[in-house]
Amino acid sequence: MTDSAVVNETDVVIVGGGLSGLSAALMLKETGTKFVLLEGKDRLGGRAHSMRSPFGIVDAGAEYIGTLQRTVWHYAQRLGVELFRTEIPSAMGWQFQGADGKVRTFLPGDFPDAQQTMLALGEVDELALLVRPYADRPEDLPDFLKQLDQITIADWTPRSGPLSAATRDAFYASLRAVLSIEPSEASFLFLLHYAATAGGYSSLIDASGSGVGPEDYRFVGGTASLVDAFAAAVGAESIKLGDAVVRIESMPTFAQVTTAAGVVYRAKKVIAALGPWAFRESHKPGIELCFEFDAADAEAGRRACTQRQALCDGMHHGMSLKSFVRFRRPFWRDRNLQGRSLCASSASQPIAWTIDNSSDPSAAPAEEQVHSLLAFMAGDAAHVLLDASVADRKAAVLAQLVALFGEVARDECLDYFDQPMPGPAGVLAKGVLSTVGSALRRPVGRVHWASSESALDWAGYMDGAIQAGLRAATEVL
C-alpha cells in the first residue's frame, strides 16, 4: 500500500460475488454488520452464469436443483424465485452410448450391465457413508479409508473384482457428468467425500425424475433469477464490481484487502468466497496472501498457512462445455425417449450426457415454446473441442446427436449456442484430503473461507455454496 492510498474502513470484506459471497453478504446485512462485497468480474453469480442465446436465456454454468438441496430451495422460496420441473418422464427411456459408439435404451432405474453396476454403485455409496462422519476432519479417518486417498478414481477396483467394460464406461461417464474430470485426475477418497456430502454417489446421479434428483428443477429465467434476487436483497450499495482483489493481508489487529485498481479496504475479518483453486487463477498471478500473527499464535498460524497453501495447490478444476441445440419440435418424445443420455465420451464422440432443456411448458403458448437439448462436454473431450471453431463444435455435437437420436436431430435443428466453463467444482489430487482436508474450512488468522467446495452438504453445488457462505458469515459475527 502506498502512503497516499485511501483506506476504506468496514467490519467485513467479502471477496467473491458468487452465491457463497452473496449468501454471506445477506446474513451480514440481516445482522446489521458493516461489510463490502468485492467481485472481480463485472457481473455477480460466478459459476451461476445465465447468458442470452439466440433463443433466450440459457445457463452456461449452474442450472438445476432438487428438493433434497434444502438450503438453495429455501432461499429460492424466501426470495420469491420461481422454479419449474425438468422434463424427465419416468415412462420414457434414457440412452447409453458405449465406447464402441453403440446406443442402447434403458428404462429409468435400469443400467448397462445392471447387476454389476448396482454392485459397484452400492460399494461407492457404502464407502461414502463411512467417510461421511469425517467430512469436517478427514485427517482423522481410519487408516483403511485414508489409503483410498493414495489411489485415483481410475485406480479403484471394487471388492467384487474389476469392473466390466459397460460398468466402467457408465461409471466414468457419470463422473464426467458430475465433475467434468477424467478418472485419473482426482483421488478416490475425494470422490467419496464429495459424494458423502450429498448422501452418496447415487444421489448425485439420481435421474429418476422423482423430484429429489439434483437435476429435477430449474429456475424460471435461469439461475440469474436467484443471483439477482440475492443481489437485490443485499443491496447495490454494498457491492463493488469489476475490480479484482490482488492481495489479502491478515495482521494481528486488522485485515486488509487491496484491489487491482489499488483500492484498500481495512476490516476486522475477511470472507474469501472463491474456490481454493481460484487463488492461483482468478487474477494472474493470483491473489497474494500475507499473514502476520501474535507471538502466541505464530506457530499454529504458520502451520495453518502451510496447510491451506497445500490444499490450494492440490486442488484444480475440470473443464466443461455446455452446448444448447434448439429444435423445431421435441422429436425424441415421439420415440418414447426422455432426451437424456449418458455417453462414454472420447475425441470422436465428445458428449458426456444430454438432457431435455426445453422451456417451461406452462410459461408460454405451445407455438412459443423452445424445444432444446443440452449436450454437456467434459474433461478431455471438452479440452479438445475448445480448440475447434464454433462451426466444428456444432458439427461434432450434431453428429453425436444423430448417433443418439437419428438423422431427425439434424433435420429438426434450428439453432446452436455453446459456452465453455470451468468444471462445476474443484477436485483434490491424491494425498491432499487425508492430510490437509480440514484446511478447506479452518480460518487462518482473520481470513475465513467460503465457496461451495468447503460445504459439508452438497459440496460443489449451489446448495453447498449458499451453506458455505452462511457458515463463514456466522464465523465472523
Ligand X SMILES: Cc1cc2nc3c(=O)[nH]c(=O)nc-3n(C[C@H](O)[C@H](O)[C@H](O)COP(=O)(O)OP(=O)(O)OC[C@H]3O[C@@H](n4cnc5c(N)ncnc54)[C@H](O)[C@@H]3O)c2cc1C
Task: Give contact residues for ligand X (rule: CB under 6 A).
Answer: 15-21, 38-41, 46-48, 61-65, 244-245, 273-275, 278, 282-283, 287, 320, 322, 421-422, 424-425, 451-452, 460-463, 465
Q: Residue 156 or 201: which CB sits closer to ligand X?
A: 201
Q: How far is the CB of 66 from ligand X (least distance, A)?
A: 9
Which residues lie below 8 Å from residue 141, measured CB to CB, with a gap of 6+? 131, 134, 189, 434
Q: Residue 183 or 424: which CB sits closer to ligand X?
A: 424
Q: Residue 68 or 192: which CB sits closer to ligand X?
A: 68
Q: How far is the CB of 283 from ligand X (least distance, A)?
A: 4
Residue among 96, 55, 46 at smallest CA distance from 324: 55
Q: How far is the CB of 273 from ligand X (least distance, A)?
A: 5
Q: Residue 157 or 208: which CB sits closer to ligand X?
A: 208
Q: How far is the CB of 180 from ligand X (least distance, A)?
A: 7
Distance CA 407, CA 424 (A): 32
Q: Residue 360 or 412: which CB sits closer to ligand X?
A: 360
Instruction: Read off the DSSP letter of residue 160.
Output: T
Distance CA 327, CA 46 (A): 29
Q: Residue 372 or 434: which CB sits closer to ligand X?
A: 372
Q: Which residues of 193-205 are buried (b: 16+ CB within 10 A; e: fewer)?
A: bbbbbbbbbebbb
Q: Residue 320 or 434: which CB sits closer to ligand X?
A: 320
Reduced to 3 states (helix: H, G, I; strand: E, B; else coil), residue 428 is strand
Q: Give the phi and the psi of residue 126 in degrees, each rounded to 5.
A: -65, -45
CA triplet 318, 394, 222: central angle to 5 degrees? 60
Distance CA 69, CA 425 (A): 16
Q: How far is the CB of 118 from ligand X (least distance, A)?
A: 25
Q: How far is the CB of 67 from ligand X (least distance, A)?
A: 13
In order, the DSSP letters of 81-134 are --EEE----TTSEEEEE-TTS-EEEE-TT--TTHHHHHHHHHHHHHHHHHHGGG
Residue among 105, 38, 159, 88 at smallest CA distance from 330: 88
Tell how many helices (H) and how many strands (E) occur in the chain: 16, 22
Q: Give the phi and the psi of residue 186 in degrees, each rounded to 5.
A: -140, 160
Q: Residue 163 or 287: which CB sits closer to ligand X?
A: 287
Q: How far is the CB of 119 from ligand X (least distance, A)?
A: 28
Distance CA 273, CA 90 (A): 38
Q: How far is the CB of 120 from ligand X (least distance, A)?
A: 24
Q: Residue 38 or 444: which CB sits closer to ligand X?
A: 38
Q: How far is the CB of 105 from ligand X (least distance, A)?
A: 24
Burial class (CB in 10 A: 0-12, 13-18, 19+), 159: exposed
